[in-house]
Amino acid sequence: MEKFWRNLARPLLNAGSTPCFLFSSEPLAAGLRLLESQFAGLPATHWLSVKTQPLPALVSWWIDQGRPVEVVSELEMELALRLGCPPERILVNGPAKHRWLSRHALPRLNVNFDSVRELRELAPLARGLGWRCGLRMFTSQEFDPESPGFPTQFGLSPEELSPALKAMKKHRLRIETIHFHLRTNVARADDYRRAMDEALGLAAERGLAPSVLDIGGGFPAPDARGRAGRRLDAEFSMRKVVEAVRSARNRHPGIREIWLENGRWLSARSGALLTRVLDVKERRGHRNVICDGGRTLQGLVSLWERHTLLALPRRHGAETLTTVNGPTCMAFDQLARRPLPRSLKPGDHLLWLDAGAYHLPWETRFSHGLCAVHWHDGKSTQCVRRAETFEDWFSHWLPPSAS
């Protein structure tokens, strides 16, 4: 894909548009084809995780193909509706949705309830509007990735299932979906197998016979590496996930649909960050390359992931350990640290790949405006968001009240 991104970025090099995100449907479409081929023979539905890449052009491209979307916030719900997605192709996940979902009295939504309170407050609406209902289960496979000794805040624990089912029965709601989502970058397929066994086992103990098994997402992006350089999918096997799903269906023949909501695995490959080298500094035998984009503004995931970095034009010759810094007044602003050619100089450009997952939602305005965004639909590239100006930023603020 390096040649693909170089060719896509080349027309932007002299346009004065850096820093900018460059997104394309082609890598995402290729990933989707691979995902569908792996799950061939299973009644699998792949939902687009809007939170992962809330780019209207991309979401519209997906919806126009008749594909469904998964949302976890009111903003995402409104985006999907604005782009013409029918309610029956919207899946609502996430916590505390009782705070906002009642403002969207839409029929035929797909809703996975996350808590007892959520269920009690939304059940009358669900009944009246014919929502397709599910329960998000908290399994023993779920934990805080940064502090594995602590559980996550999501889903219904085994102890909470009884009051949840009581509320469902009171409002005559049918549970069609059993759902869990482990976390991002799940290392091993066996984690899915254990979570499926646990979630479906708990459902069976309470007399539930779901027709849909929703295993969330979390497949590690294929080219992502940890800061030490090790592939995040080194121990992951999609084939084994598929085998586990088939085994679960054999043991629970009432399951007629399998849902997946992979965000990072699909979207990471669909974007790149293009920056321009502004300055170069030498100190203590080390080199700092200062660019107009970086971690603080656009690449937060560089804190824990190592991405491919391409120089435009190509630079060759002797290499030296180099830190690629952004333009902000933060020592934290380090997009990469690795050997790079000493021939790299101000005016050159750098392409930081796999910038399609979580980069837009985590973009910041730290003493700068939001950057430009370009979208390639497989045929042509267009600017879909211009770089934010001071007036754009200032217009968000209300004038101070008169004293």
| Superfamily holding 26-267 | Alanine racemase (3.20.20.10)
Query: What are the structural domain ranges in the chain?
Result: 26-267, 269-388
Spatial separation of the C-alpha atoms in residues 75 and 305, rounded to whole Å: 27
Q: What is the assigned CATH class of domain 269-388? A: mainly beta
Tens digits of residue pLDDT in 130-170: 999 999 999 999 988 889 999 999 999 999 999 999 999 99
Tens digits of residue pLDDT in 184-228: 999 999 999 999 999 999 999 999 999 999 999 999 998 889 988
This prediction has a pTM of: 0.96
- Residue 62's contacts (CB-CB under 8 Å, 6 or more residues apart) are 48, 69
Tens digits of residue pLDDT in 24-50: 999 999 999 999 999 999 999 999 999
Distances (CA, A) of 359 to 68, 263, 370: 22, 12, 12
Residue pair 222/262 in contact by the 8 Å Cβ criterion: no
**Which residue matches tokens 């539905």?**
45
**Rounded average pLDDT over 296-304:** 97
Tens digits of residue pLDDT in 308-329: 999 999 999 999 999 999 999 9
Buried b (16+ CB within 10 A) or exposed e, 354-386: bbbbbbbbebeeeebebbbbbbbbeeebeebbe
Distances (CA, A) of 259 to 38, 79, 148, 302: 14, 22, 26, 30
Residue pair 31/269 in contact by the 8 Å Cβ criterion: yes
Helix (H) or strand (E) holding 189: helix 189-205
User: Which of 12-21, 189-198, 247-256, 316-325 is least confident?
Assistant: 12-21
Spatial separation of the C-alpha atoms in residues 97 and 95, rounded to whole Å: 6
